[in-house]
Structure 1
Amino acid sequence: MKRNLITSVLLCCLFVLQGQDKQLTIRGKVSNMDTPLVNAEVSSEKSGETVKTDINGKYELNTSAGDLVTFSYPGLSDMEIVVEDVSSILNIKMNAAVNVLDEVVLEKTKIKSQAQLRMEYNSNKNLLKTAFGILDKDITNFSVRIIDKSQLLFGTIDLASAIQYRFPGVRVERLAESFNKPTIYLRGASQGLFPAIYDVDGLILNEFPDFIMVENVERIGILSGLGLVTKYGGNGNGGVIVINTKGGNTYRDPRTGGPYDQALLRNNIYEGNALSKEQASKNVPTYLKELYATTSEGEAVELYKEQSARYTSSMYYFLDVFGYFAAKWKNTSFADQIIEDHWYLFKDNPVGMKALAYLYQTLGNNEKAHKLYKEIFILRPNYAQSYRDLALSYTDIGDYRKSASIYARYDYLVAEGFIRAEDKEFTPLMEREFSNLLELHRKELTSTETKKGPSLNSGFEGTRLVFEWNDSEAEFQLQFVNPNDKYYNWEHSMLADPELIRVEKLKGYSCKEYLIDGSITGQWKVNLKYLGNKSLTPAYLKVTIYHNFGSKSQRKEIKVFKLQLKNVNQELFKVQNSLSLVSN
């Protein structure tokens, strides 16, 4: 077995080298505000070659997978693109240069950037997550007192009592008619004349958060002083009680935020202005409108034969008609035959295969999807996501041991440096899913029963959303609307966060998870604005919704969306967040 493991590792290394040396030619157009840029420079880091765009802003450059290509033009921000194995058309829109001061160094004091503070949060107990980013206790213009979960007293009436007993100068007032909604006053905050407000994982509340249990708290901070007014406004006169929960333990900043509203003091009330599914459905391609207008399956088949002669080179056409015949007429055999007849469009194309795998998963055909993920793994063994996709697909077909072995292999290759995954985004996601596999299928893996009790993953219980996209060049904006119609936007684009996209490409993953804590119940809305993908082709987004994640009643559902209509905010789906625990 050891010999087989060594052979597998050597094969992976060989594939990595082969993937990185794949020769490619990329071409496209460079523009600014829809105006072609003449003499913009396009440079290859590997070869050192530089070409310039022509009068129409077009260029062509010989490169290879893994190369870093830089687009430059005077007065505009440089744009760096990591070349992938499927890169061919890269249409680049450049933006005006903006000088941002990320870090200020004084003579004796170093002001750390938010990125650095996020990295230190788990190990530095002097840090708090607030609606305005990470707060460092050592560098503030107001008083900050912090305790972490190890110092909290369990068994108290509620969180208010736990705070009162751990922080001196805290006064808790309870009225008989609202005993569970106490008012807390802080000494030193305007002489205790005004009640404190609450900052819970970035959610600013005026009333006591009675929905939080002491056991779910990661860290608490007591903030007081005039300096708070500049951040929290007049409501901060009575001080602020910052509560970091275990469910919100992964920090979400404005560029990589999650489903929690990070700044309720802003005007971020959702007004229902997203395009409805019915409205968005009117923007489907003409060939699909024609197919849906047919009155029988036989008529649809004849129309398909006529259409397919015109779209022989379009992978996206055959993905659409595959989905049409499988969903509309439930004819999965004919749909499968369509793909088999046009496999030449998908062969050696991991982007197309992944979109097809998504569709198979929505149809419940996990075996077909698994075969595709195995093919993608062979094509992209140096991509971190290849291991995650294959491990999850083994789980879907019930082969839990092989799933566990893939996770173990991934850990080994990361430790040995064969996969670059030293990040704060993807690795925790892998660890969460591996832990979930071990807990849910402990008996199949170790021949022992799962542990008793409703909770399988003490770190988080609630609704877990995982977004995945087949094309790493896809740019979009996700909008999360909480049960109180407060929204939060997260943008995945070169303009919003070029460093994030660069890291995703270097490490080989295209996914993002969001955790909605079980205590925040109600209906959440998720909307999306598609911004394009540097070419004229659509992209596919898969959303896996884990209901009651971390409990024995955990279940999942998969939704797939074709992203084509650009620059319009449109409805994706709604999800009801309510933790249902199963008793033993």
Structure 2
Amino acid sequence: MKKHYSFIASFFMIFSGFATERLISGKVTNGENPISNVKVQVVNQGISSSSNVDGAYQIVASAGDMLFYNAEGMEPLQIRVEDVTRVLNVVMFPKVEKLENVTVTRNRRSSQKELEMDYHYNPNIIRTAFGYLDKTKTSYSVRMMDADDFLPGEYNFENVLRGRFAGVRVSRGIGFGGGNTVGSTRAVFLRSGWPAVFDIDGQVFTDFPDFIDVQNIDRIAIIPSAIGTVRYGNLAKGGVVIINTKTGTIIPKDKNGLYLDRMRLRNNNYDGNALSKERVMKNAPAYLKELQESRSFEDAKASFEMHSKRYSSSPYFLLDSYQYFYEKWKQKDYADDIVKKGYGLFKENAVLLKALAYMYESHERYDMAHKAFRRAFILRPQYRQSYLDLAKSNRNLQNTKRAAVLYARYFYLLDEGIMEADTSSFSRIISREFNNLLSLEKTDMIKSPANMKMELEEEDFDSTRLMLEWNDSEAEFELQFVNPDNQYYTWKHSLKENANTIRQEKDFGYSCAEYLIDDSFSGNWKVNIKYLGNKSLTPTYLKAIVYHDYGSKSQRKEVKVFKLGTKNVNQALFRINQGSSISLN
């Protein structure tokens, strides 16, 4: 108990130092030209500023504050301030006015068809009585969980609602009929004093669904707001619980019995337009080009020392130089000395520490990576990503017990309400990582914190898993996946296209995504990226971890790191040959 208390106390002592005020500056544009008279506010703080004729602005805010950008004729933006935030160059987009009493039937049908086809692959989609809904595209709150979040043998639907969704209350003896027979009825309350209704496979029920088999549930969504339930009418003034069952959800399949995928559509053919690494290198900094042209280690040293006079205060110069000398000339000591001398630029900045850790990890220098991840954890104990990074780092060092304890501690903090519970994609990622550890490593001697159950779930996926992590949570990009049939799918990670997802990442403190590669294809998958920037003039570092035979005893991984600096062009990252290896393009 004393250990738990000390940990929690230190957690809040560190967190209390998180709200230091700082001056934030930047420029607001429409992507090309500056926007003047943009009102910039610190939400709920009474602090505001405006952009000048050049689009420039300054405002004082603290880490954790929300900045609200508003300009006439433009879509408003909200951006969470972080511990490293100093510059926010914001791009605003024209407001799209919705015309009343106008129905574009063709587009609506097309959108619904796409959502239907994406349902199997996109856990953010739920089917309602009024069609498919993508929670990332709504203007109101939608909380979701799917079958992967249920424990084997879990059967009590009442406990699922009460235990997995914060703020949900289940009461007995009160229902739509107003009866007072205790125990005869149950009602679910999402807000106020009116019970919620249930939308089950498109059918609306007012009574609590005692007939629901938890193991038959595919997805659940909670919509508490009046805006989100307006289509249900007055009946749903207490909110809606939407349930898609496995037996009641028909997912389109092709003639081979495979789930339809928009990547397989005829108009999604990849034209091979991604820039190669060599072409992207043409936009590299001058110092890096000169280093690459060095014909000997001594020539490279001379070039580095010359450029150090100008760039020694740049952590990105040090990262580039470390990577160059370590990979090109195999000069470990010299490369380490570069970082050692400039470590002061890294030690108080979690974003830079993560970039450094990525580098070390790609070189299989797990002890060095661990030191960087541990320092980042100290700086950001409230970030979910910190727990995942440090737990995986311990596993790399074969410290499986420490890794498992970190995972268990994370879930303990959620159970105790010390950290806010979430039903985001991160929840699935960290649960999968924890389960994989328990499945494949010797963790018999692990003791979990009090009241913390460590359940082992059977992994139902044993093919290729791709894990992507980026060091800067402000990073925006578009990932393009090209299957062996040369058809592609693009995931747009940007404020313009996916503002809710980015807001959720910032609120919960994570910057990662996973992709389970479809094993119905054999051959090479290509992964490309269009980098859109990170609201400053600094690069972003992307780490790609490819797990082969994931979940099996023969599981193995490869790690690659990419520096993203060239904006708005599609560039090739790597190719994956399932069951084989990852190769750079």
2:49 aligns with one of 51, 74, 88: 51
Contact 2:347 2:375 in 1 (8 A): no
1:347 deviates by 1.9
Assess, with a 3 A threshold, how the Cα gap between structure 1 residues 75 and 222 changes in structure 2: closer, same or farther: closer
C-alpha separation in 1, matches of 2:214 and 2:265: 28
Contact 1:90 1:535 in 2 (8 A): yes
Give the secondary structure class of the aligned counterpart of 2:464: strand
Question: Which position in structure 2 is the counterpart of 1:341?
Answer: 341
Question: Which position in structure 1 is the counterpart of 2:115?
Answer: none
Give the secondary structure class of the aligned counterpart of 2:282: helix
Question: Which position in structure 1 is the counterpart of 2:11?
Answer: 12
2:134 aligns with one of 108, 114, 135: 114
Assess, with a 3 A threshold, how the Cα gap between structure 1 residues 556 and 57 changes in structure 2: closer, same or farther: same
Contact 1:321 1:335 in 2 (8 A): yes
1:74 aligns with one of 54, 67, 72: 72
C-alpha separation in 2, matches of 1:579 and 1:535: 38
C-alpha separation in 1, matches of 2:10 and 2:344: 26
Question: Which position in structure 2 is the counterpart of 1:175?
Answer: none
Establish whether residue 138 from structure 1 lines up as the match of residue 202 from structure 2. yes
Alignment map for 1:109-508 (pairs within 5 Å): 113-115=133-135, 119=144, 122=147, 137-138=201-202, 261-262=261-262, 264-265=264-265, 267-442=267-442, 445=445, 457-508=458-509
C-alpha separation in 2, matches of 1:420 and 1:437: 24
Assess, with a 3 A threshold, how the Cα gap between structure 1 residues 407 and 287 changes in structure 2: closer, same or farther: same
1:28 aligns with one of 26, 29, 32: 26
Contact 1:220 1:244 in 2 (8 A): no
| Unmatched tracts of structure 1, length 5 or more | 103-107, 125-134, 141-146, 152-216, 224-231, 233-238, 246-259, 448-454
C-alpha separation in 2, matches of 1:38 and 1:118: 37
C-alpha separation in 2, matches of 1:42 and 1:301: 47
In structure 2, give the amino acid aligned to 1:506: D
In structure 1, give the amino acid aligned to 2:14: F
| Unmatched tracts of structure 2, length 5 or more | 100-107, 109-127, 136-140, 151-198, 205-211, 217-244, 448-455
Give the secondary structure class of the aligned counterpart of 1:87: coil
Question: Which position in structure 1 is the counterpart of 2:234?
Answer: none
Give the secondary structure class of the aligned counterpart of 2:528: strand
C-alpha separation in 1, matches of 2:469 and 2:531: 14
Assess, with a 3 A threshold, how the Cα gap between structure 1 residues 222 and 567 changes in structure 2: closer, same or farther: closer
Assess, with a 3 A threshold, how the Cα gap between structure 1 residues 465 and 120 changes in structure 2: closer, same or farther: closer
C-alpha separation in 1, matches of 2:312 and 2:412: 43
Give the secondary structure class of the aligned counterpart of 1:310: helix
Aligned length: 458
C-alpha separation in 1, matches of 2:435 and 2:376: 24
C-alpha separation in 1, matches of 2:433 and 2:497: 28
Assess, with a 3 A threshold, how the Cα gap between structure 1 residues 546 and 55 changes in structure 2: closer, same or farther: same
In structure 1, give the amino acid aligned to 2:144: M
1:440 deviates by 0.8
C-alpha separation in 2, matches of 1:446 and 1:11: 23
C-alpha separation in 1, matches of 2:271 and 2:421: 40
Contact 1:383 1:419 in 2 (8 A): no
Contact 1:261 1:486 in 2 (8 A): no
Give the secondary structure class of the aligned counterpart of 1:460: coil
Assess, with a 3 A threshold, how the Cα gap between structure 1 residues 27 and 408 changes in structure 2: closer, same or farther: same
Question: Which position in structure 1 is the counterpart of 2:527?
Answer: 526
Question: Which position in structure 2 is the counterpart of 1:514?
Answer: 515
Contact 1:419 1:507 in 2 (8 A): no
CA-to-partner distance for each residue in 1:9-65, whole Å, 9 max, x for gaps? 11112222221x121211001112422111110000142211111121111000000
Contact 1:380 1:386 in 2 (8 A): yes
1:37 aligns with one of 35, 38, 50: 35
Question: Which position in structure 2 is the counterpart of 1:560?
Answer: 561
Give the secondary structure class of the aligned counterpart of 2:541: strand
In structure 2, give the amino acid aligned to 1:8: F
C-alpha separation in 2, matches of 1:138 and 1:276: 48
Contact 1:546 1:554 in 2 (8 A): yes
C-alpha separation in 2, matches of 1:336 and 1:487: 40
Question: Which position in structure 1 is the counterpart of 2:159?
Answer: none
In structure 2, give the amino acid aligned to 1:539: T
Question: Root-mean-square deviation (CA), in Å?
Answer: 3.3
1:494 deviates by 0.6
Contact 2:481 2:489 in 1 (8 A): yes
C-alpha separation in 1, matches of 2:520 and 2:277: 29
Contact 1:222 1:241 in 2 (8 A): no
1:294 deviates by 1.5
Question: Which position in structure 2 is the counterpart of 1:188?
Answer: none
C-alpha separation in 1, matches of 2:542 and 2:215: 40
In structure 2, give the amino acid aligned to 1:485: N
C-alpha separation in 2, matches of 1:120 and 1:544: 25
Output the TM-score relative to the length of structure 1. 0.73
1:138 deviates by 2.4
C-alpha separation in 2, matches of 1:16 and 1:100: 42
Assess, with a 3 A threshold, how the Cα gap between structure 1 residues 109 and 416 changes in structure 2: closer, same or farther: same
Question: Which position in structure 2 is the counterpart of 1:249?
Answer: none
C-alpha separation in 2, matches of 1:277 and 1:476: 17
Assess, with a 3 A threshold, how the Cα gap between structure 1 residues 327 and 312 changes in structure 2: closer, same or farther: same
1:219 deviates by 5.7
Give the secondary structure class of the aligned counterpart of 1:36: coil
Contact 2:477 2:530 in 1 (8 A): yes
Question: Which position in structure 2 is the counterpart of 1:213?
Answer: none
1:111 deviates by 6.4
Give the secondary structure class of the aligned counterpart of 1:382: coil
CA-to-partner distance for each residue in 1:482-515, whole Å, 9 max, x for gaps? 1111100001111111111111011000000001
C-alpha separation in 1, matches of 2:494 and 2:87: 17
1:148 deviates by 11
CA-to-partner distance for each residue in 1:182-213, whole Å, 9 max, x for gaps? xxxxxxxxxxxxxxxxxxxxxxxxxxxxxxxx
C-alpha separation in 2, matches of 1:114 and 1:549: 29
Assess, with a 3 A threshold, how the Cα gap between structure 1 residues 444 and 398 changes in structure 2: closer, same or farther: farther
CA-to-partner distance for each residue in 1:240-292, whole Å, 9 max, x for gaps? 889798xxxxxxxxxxxxxx943634510112111122322332221111112
C-alpha separation in 2, matches of 1:356 and 1:120: 34
Assess, with a 3 A threshold, how the Cα gap between structure 1 residues 304 and 364 changes in structure 2: closer, same or farther: same
C-alpha separation in 2, matches of 1:118 and 1:484: 35
